Structure 1
Amino acid sequence: MDLARLSAVREHLGEGVALMVDANQQWSRADAQRMCRAFEEFGLVWIEEPLDAYDFEGHGQLAARFDTPIATGEMLTSVAEHAELIRHGGADIIQPDAPRIGGITRFLQVMAMADRRHLQLAPHFAMEIHVHLAAAYRHEPWVEHFEWLDPLFNEHLEIADGRMRLSDRPGLGVTLSDQARAWTVDSFEILG
């Protein structure tokens, strides 16, 4: 069934369009090997999270065995977990999530580790934060885009020719919309 769907999508899009598969941690090691082998012919940009996010060794085996790059890391919650994933060679494309791992400083630490291994970067979610961080990576990154987040902000990321354009506005370049502010239930101020 998955092969038929993937074949139909590839045929519809053609060879010139980037295509990825996200397994969402659903495969056993045996299933992942079978699927990675079967998917090789489709010229995928990556196969994402073929195994449990914490199966660093299993991801490493897949990355070593197949030509299609393995992308993972979005569910990890610390720099140390990313270090283990990288140590096991478990990702060709690392997918850290700045809010999940402790913020921008921690993200930059993961990014530096990934750079030392010449890994590709495809940050997970929160493109309003990640587009700026990804722009600082010397290897061309991928950045996810979620239109359903648009109501949260007054400004919207500009996308042209398949690329996100960085804003020249201060900070992250976005401000919360009135709708997002209406959802606020409490606030506090940190005094310096």
Structure 2
Amino acid sequence: MTAVREHLGDDVPLIVDANQQWDRPATQRMGRALEQFGLIWIEEPLDAYDAQGHAALAASLDTPIATGEMLASVAEHQELLRHNAVDLIQPDAPRIGGITQFLKLAAFAEHQHLQLAPHFAMEIHLHLAAAYPHEPWVEHFDWLETLFNERLRISDGRMHLSSRPGLGIALSEQARAWTQAVREVGTRP
């Protein structure tokens, strides 16, 4: 971390993602050791369902704690919120039940003045994050670009919403070739 911070300088935001690999004592040690680097957050230091452990970390460390990407419902996220276990919530709209469920969770997060950093699927999350009243973070995965005909416009570290209708994306022919089955809903035989 020292070499990374020295190489990038103090103006570049750094985040550490533990990906649920640390136990509570290791997270406390690592969290204290990493505080000197001015991290934006430590992501998923503990098991995603350890609300009490995340709450203890959030209370004891200066570095914000982020988690939620692996949770599969609004109710599971509410457990984190109930325990004051996160400084930054990371819901994944497809995983928690879609756009409506994401917006419900975002309302709870806003009420607690949490930061938002949706997980994965930036083509969906960019639009949802843009509706959040506090400036959010949105992950970018360039290896997903082959799935879509359109590309997200990114400049100066910011993603820009398109003016195309809906989410502004269409599946590419390559993505369509990977389709295993097709079902039509709402049609009669």
TM-score (norm 2): 0.98
> Structure 1 regions of 5+ residues with no counterpart?
1-5
Structure 2 counterpart of 1:152, from 107, 123, 147: 147
Q: Distance in 2 between the 1:26 and 1:180 partners?
A: 32
User: Equivalent residue for 1:47?
Assistant: 42
User: Equivalent residue for 2:98?
Assistant: 103
For residues 47-83 of structure 1, what are the alpha-carbon distances to aligned partners after superposition, in whole Å with 9 as ceiling and x for unaligned? 0011000000000110011110000000000010000
1:124 is aligned to 2:119: yes
Q: Distance in 1 between the 2:34 and 2:84 partners?
A: 20
For residues 94-116 of structure 1, what are the alpha-carbon distances to aligned partners after superposition, in whole Å with 9 as ceiling and x for unaligned? 00000000000110111000000
User: Equivalent residue for 1:3?
Assistant: none
1:83 is aligned to 2:78: yes
Q: Distance in 2 between the 1:57 and 1:7 partners?
A: 30
User: Equivalent residue for 1:172?
Assistant: 167
The residue type paired with residue 45 of structure 1 is I
Q: Distance in 2 between the 1:185 and 1:107 partners?
A: 27
User: Equivalent residue for 2:107?
Assistant: 112
Taking the TM superposition and a 5 Å limit, the aligned residue runs for 1:7-86 are 7-86=2-81
Sequence identity percentage: 71
The residue type paired with residue 34 of structure 2 is F
User: Equivalent residue for 1:135?
Assistant: 130
Q: Distance in 2 between the 1:117 and 1:83 partners?
A: 11
SS in 2 for 1:137: coil
Aligned length: 187
The residue type paired with residue 181 of structure 2 is D
The residue type paired with residue 16 of structure 2 is V
RMSD (CA atoms): 0.7
